[in-house]
Structure 1
């Protein structure tokens, strides 16, 4: 796994964290327009980052389409990445 791939994955994980946390916040504050804008902005960014990553490196989850042979885990597991490269 090269530096660019590790850094891309790290960015996806960071943005995914924001999306999850804003969704949890919005569950209890559904009329907070600022939080909703933030959530929607990061949700869109996450889709874009995932699309770019998957086009270049393959699927991020096992419910994506895969070519033969099965390609979900051809790289180290997420906890095996060296994020100090970023």
Structure 2
């Protein structure tokens, strides 16, 4: 495996972890909608969202923005148009 294959593999792994954390955050959000006083679920939600935000920041620092709607700053040159697009990773 050469350096570019390893970088692509790491990128794919990070995106998959982001997807996992986003899924967990949505599920916990739905659970908390029904059980708003469940302190353990709220603690889990806060932990998942903190880890998700950290991982997204790390991903964007290493590979560029996940979205182009002002949620992340970009380095020069503008990197949003570089391939592959975030949703194309792992296909």
TM-score (norm 1): 0.80
In structure 2, the residue matched to 1:46 is 52
Number of aligned residue pairs = 83
Write the distance in 2 (CA, Å) between the matches of 1:47 and 1:79: 18
RMSD across aligned positions (CA) = 1.9
Write the distance in 2 (CA, Å) between the matches of 1:75 and 1:32: 43
In structure 2, the residue matched to 1:66 is 74
In structure 2, the residue matched to 1:33 is 39
In structure 1, the residue matched to 2:84 is 76
Unpaired runs of at least 5, structure 2: 1-6
Unpaired runs of at least 5, structure 1: none
Q: Give the CA deviation at 1:70.
A: 3.8
TM-score (norm 2): 0.76
Write the distance in 2 (CA, Å) between the matches of 1:52 and 1:21: 23
Q: Which has the higher contact order (CA 8 A, sep 6+)?
A: 1
